[in-house]
Structure 1
Amino acid sequence: MTLKMYGALSASAIGEALGTTGEAARQQLARLAEEGLVAATSQANGVGRPTQSWALTAAAQSRFPDTHAALTVQLLDIVRSALGESALDTIISTREAQTTAVYQTAMDSVTSLRDKVATLADLRSQEGYMAEWREQADGSLLLLENHCPICAAATACQGFCRAELEVFRDVLGPQIEVTRQEHIVSGGRRCSYAIREAE
């Protein structure tokens, strides 16, 4: 909490802020560092040993309240009630077109289906979906998304899930069949997609 309130601090400054010793703070920081919640950087201060400055990591930031999901759902409800379902459809279609363009650009030089699915998994992981892919015994490919960073929005409006499936079909090509098998919004542990050459 101290690092969140005041930013990067030395162990002695943290100890002073908490009314304890710098050594006690250092011990706590070492435990937090083992958990990946804080990281130290060295700062030279003229002669002598550099001072270690401690700051929160991205993993620690996620432990603080974040209402973006609730805000997203509220905004979707406002769009739906104030502007109508067609306005919501326009937002989803625009997002779908933008995502398709980004993915197609990333796949410009990719030719094989395996490489396209691998690229798609990388793109999705960069967006927070914790995606991976594997080849099945029957030769089909399986795209797995172990997390849904837009779950609140997708639960409030199923159009997002429909649009994502269409994006996959668009970027992989008309000769490729993409079928959703598991769906987080429908109670699945993850989202999974079977991908194969159309017969």
Structure 2
Amino acid sequence: MKNVSEERKTAAVPATAPSPLPAHDEPRSTRNRVARSILDHGPSTAAELAGRLALTQAAVRRHLDTLLAEGLVEPRDQRVYGSRGRGRPAKAFALTDDGRDAFDQAYDSLAADALRWIAQQAGGGEKGEAAVSAFARARLAVQAAGYRKVIESAAPEQRTEALARALTADGYAAAARSAPVGEQLCQHHCPVAHVAERFPQLCEAETEVFSDLLGTHVQRLATIAHGDGVCTTFVPKGGAPPGGATGGPKGGPARPHRTTTRTTTASASTAGRNPA
């Protein structure tokens, strides 16, 4: 897998496919499958990886040892929901920044330079930040138009799952899971994570879009850009219809959902506080 880390420095690797490896190099190819499974599903135990890839746990552990030695994965304590059984919880393995870079197609330097130029042209300071925010919203508006059709065609209780499928199709490896008072939208991959680390407006605009699409306030609990393993967004139960709008005065236009502004504040203040 060492050559994968080196390849990322000279060539972009599609986020939707494993890094190219020689067909005859079976051990490296299998390690690449292990890394890709972690990318798609988030931090995973050896048992979970073995089940997904139809490998023995012993084989998976050998590949994990190699990935650990190369700095492409790291062990983490697995979260336990509900009562914990006897014994120590199994370790979950997450991709490191170098591991994610092996799959990234984002042209980080070019994107960061472009956003920096936009900020400078707007005058820097608060004006510059506002210009970057406007760009982020405009960029996501194009994606949101396609997502909206998918979400509006889904039943209310399946809209978060529909959004997760749409995000996955765009390379975010997303999934929806139930939570005590709502759902969690988890994105296991972010093609622009390194740029978002420098320009958090990208994460904030994305959170606003999720709120608008699902028609309810949402709260960003964690982001890959802030060093977390997964971008996690909490979606409460009982949201309004998609579009983030409620009816306006009789005979008047609809008005934005009142929680949109509160969502943006929550995103900025809580991002990265709840590692996944």
TM-score (norm: length of structure 1) = 0.62
Q: Give the match for residue 141 of structure 2.
A: 97
Residue 142 of structure 2 aligns with an amino acid whose one-letter code is Q
Equivalent-residue separation in structure 2 for 1:100 and 1:65 (angstroms): 22
Residue 74 of structure 1 aligns with an amino acid whose one-letter code is D
After TM superposition, which residue ranges in structure 1, 4 or more long, deviate above 4 angstroms? 62-67
Contact kept? 2:23, 2:29, Cα under 8 Å: no
1:197 to 1:63, Cα distance in 2 relative to 1, 3 A: closer
Q: Give the match for residue 50 of structure 1.
A: none
Q: Which is strand-richer, 1 or 2?
A: 1
Q: Give the match for residue 231 of structure 2.
A: 191
Aligned mate of 1:161, from 203, 207, 216: 203
Q: Does residue 171 of structure 2 align to residue 119 of structure 1?
A: no
Q: Give the match for residue 134 of structure 1.
A: 177
1:64 to 1:146, Cα distance in 2 relative to 1, 3 A: closer
Equivalent-residue separation in structure 2 for 1:139 and 1:78 (angstroms): 42
Equivalent-residue separation in structure 1 for 2:227 and 2:210 (angstroms): 21
Q: What is the CA deviation profile of residues 171-191 of structure 1, one whole-angstrom value per residue up to 9, with x for unaligned ones?
A: 101xx3311111222221111
CA positional deviation for 1:93: 2.3
Q: Does residue 142 of structure 2 align to residue 76 of structure 1?
A: no
CA positional deviation for 1:97: 2.2
| Number of corresponding residues | 146
Equivalent residues in 2 for 1:31-42, closer than 5 Å: 31=25, 35=29
CA positional deviation for 1:126: 1.6
CA positional deviation for 1:89: 3.0
Matched position secondary structure for 1:35:
helix
1:90 to 1:194, Cα distance in 2 relative to 1, 3 A: closer
Equivalent-residue separation in structure 2 for 1:172 and 1:143 (angstroms): 11
Matched position secondary structure for 1:144:
strand
TM-score (norm: length of structure 2) = 0.46
Unaligned 5+ segments in structure 2 are: 4-21, 33-100, 240-276
Of all paired residues, the percent bearing the same amino acid is: 24
> Structure 1 residues 158-167 or 86-95, which shifts more?
86-95
Larger Rg: 1
